[in-house]
Amino acid sequence: MTVIRVKGFKIFRDRHGKLRCYHRATGHKIDLERAPFGTVAFIAECGKITALAEARKSTEPKAGTLGGVVASYYAEAHFRNLSDRTKRDYRRCAAFIGNILDTPIQTINTPLLCQIHDKAESKIGWRQANMLMSFLSQVFSYGVPRGLVAVNYAAAVKPKPRPKTLARANRPWTAEELAAVLTLAPAHIRAAVALMAYTGLDPSDALTLRRSAIVDGDLSTARGKTGQKVELQITQTLRAALNDAPRHDAVTILATTRGLPWTYDGFSTVWHRFKAKQVEAGKLPADLTLKGLRHTVATVLREAGVSPRSIADLLGQKTEAMAQHYSRDASLAASNRKTMEILEFEIERRTKSVNPAAKSVKPE
C-alpha cells in the first residue's frame, strides 16, 4: 500500500480502523468523508488549512518586539483584574499602535514615544493619547523587572493638557437638576440615579452592584477600577428610591424593566434617550452626565466642610488629590468665612503681647 505523506498533517487510523487526518500545529481536522484522502478536494483542504496557519503565525506577536511585551502584559494578573471597561479602553488605545507592534523593543525610547504621543493627539484626541501613554507605562512597568524592556520610557512623556476651549466634561449637577431628574425619571432610571447620587459610586460600579453587597443594611463593596474598599450607609431617601423600583430577581440591586442586570452601555442608552426628551422639553440641560454625579457628591461634601480624606474614603480613592480633583468646583465661601474668623482670632491672640489693650473675640 502506498503511503501518502502531507507535510504538517498527521494521518492515521483510529481504534475502529477509520482513517483520520488533522493539522499538527493547529489541531484542525479534515473531514475525510467530504474530502476523501488523496483526492483533489483533500489536497485543496490541506492547502487552505496550511495557508490559514501561516497567516495566523505571521500576525502573532514575536518575542523581543513591542507587540511581544504587550501580549505578555495582557496575560498578566494585573491586567486581567482590571475592570472590563478599563481593559476595553486600553485595547482600543493599543489598536492605534497596531502597525508598529513588530518594532524591536530595543529601538523603543522616550523620543519615539513622544512622537507617537503627538501623532495620537492629532488622530484620536488628547485624552485618548494620554490614555495610550498610561497604557504603555503600565506595559513597561510590568516588563522592566522581568527583563523584557530596559526602562519605562513612557513614564517621562508629559501628558497632553486639556484644551482650554473644550467644554467642561462631567460637571457637578445642581440641586435643582438632581431634583428634576429624580422627579421626571421613571422608577428604574430614578433608582440608578439615586444610588449614584447618594453614594458617589461610579456608574459602572453602581450598575453592577450585587444584592450581596448589602450587609446589615449597609453597602460593602470595592471600586471596580482600583479595588479600593468602600463601605456606605443606605440612607432613608436612597432606600425609598430603591424600593420604588420595579421588583426583580436579578442578582444586582439595579435591573432593567425586564428584570435583568444592567450593562453599562445598556443603561447609557436608556439614560440618553430619557435625557434627550427632557432637553427637548426644556426641563434639563444637555450637558448632564452620569459621571457628573460623582463630582456632585464630592462638591457637596467639600462645601459642607468635609475633609478631603473623608471624601476620598467615601469615593474609594486612594489619595486626597483625587478627592480634591472631583470637588474642585466647590464654593468655599462659607467654609472660608469660618476659617477667616479663626485667622482673625489667632492674629489678635498672638499679637496681644504687643498690644495688651486689644481684645480677642473667639469665633463661634
104 in the same domain as 226: no
Whole-angstrom Cα distance, residue 200 to residue 210?
16
Query: What pLDDT, on the 0 to 100 scale, is given for residue 260?
Result: 94
> How many structural domains is the chain composed of?
3
Residue 268 located in a structural domain: yes
262 in the same domain as 310: yes
181 in the same domain as 149: no
**Domain boundary, last residue among 25, 43, 59:** 59
Residue 3 located in a structural domain: no
183 in the same domain as 228: yes
203 in the same domain as 120: no
Query: What pLDDT, on the 0 to 100 scale, is given for residue 1?
Result: 43
The per-residue DSSP string of 98-136 comes to GGGTTSBGGG--HHHHHHHHHHHHHHH-HHHHHHHHHHH
Going residue by residue through the chain (364 aa), what tens digit of pLDDT does each one get? 455 677 888 888 888 888 888 888 778 889 898 888 888 889 888 888 888 777 665 556 677 899 999 999 998 888 888 877 788 888 888 888 988 888 999 999 999 999 999 999 999 899 999 999 999 999 999 999 999 999 999 999 999 998 888 777 889 999 999 999 999 999 999 999 999 999 999 999 999 999 999 888 888 888 877 778 888 888 888 899 999 999 999 999 999 999 999 998 899 999 999 999 999 999 999 999 999 999 999 999 998 888 889 888 888 888 888 888 788 888 777 777 777 788 778 777 777 766 666 555 555 6
Residue 80 located in a structural domain: yes
Whole-angstrom Cα distance, residue 154 to residue 149?
12
Residue 47 located in a structural domain: yes
Note the Cα 79 to chain centre separation in Å.
Answer: 12
Output b/e per residue, 96-117; b: 16+ Cβ within 10 A.
bbeeebeeebeebeeeebbebb
* Alpha-carbon torsion, ordered 28, 31, 34, 35, to 10 deg: 70
- Residue 247 CB partners (closer than 8 Å, separation 6+): none
75 in the same domain as 191: no
Query: What pLDDT, on the 0 to 100 scale, is given for residue 343?
Result: 78
42 in the same domain as 124: no
Q: CATH no. for residue 78?
A: 1.10.150.130
- Residue 7 CB partners (closer than 8 Å, separation 6+): none
**Domain boundary, last residue among 59, 76, 100:** 59
**Domain boundary, last residue among 124, 156, 188:** 156
Residue 349 located in a structural domain: no
Which residue range forms the structural domain that includes residue 107?
Answer: 66-156
Other C-beta atoms lying within 10 Å of the C-beta of residue 95: 11
93 in the same domain as 35: no
pTM > 0.85:
no
43 in the same domain as 129: no
Beta strand 229-233 with 19-23 is unpaired
Query: What pLDDT, on the 0 to 100 scale, is given for residue 361?
Result: 56
Cell of 8: 504538517
Query: What pLDDT, on the 0 to 100 scale, is given for residue 360?
Result: 53
Closest of 258, 251, 237 to residue 188, by C-alpha: 258
Query: What pLDDT, on the 0 to 100 scale, is given for residue 147?
Result: 92
78 in the same domain as 43: no
Place of cell 492605534: 96
Q: Inter-axis angle of helices 187-197 and 236-244, to 10 degrees?
A: 160
96 in the same domain as 70: yes
150 in the same domain as 81: yes
Residue 180 located in a structural domain: yes
Q: CATH no. for residue 312?
A: 1.10.443.10
Residue 170 located in a structural domain: no
The per-residue DSSP string of 299-344 comes to HHHHHTT--HHHHHHHHT-SSHHHHHHHTTT---HHHHHHHHHHHH
Residue 2 located in a structural domain: no
Cell of 323: 478627592
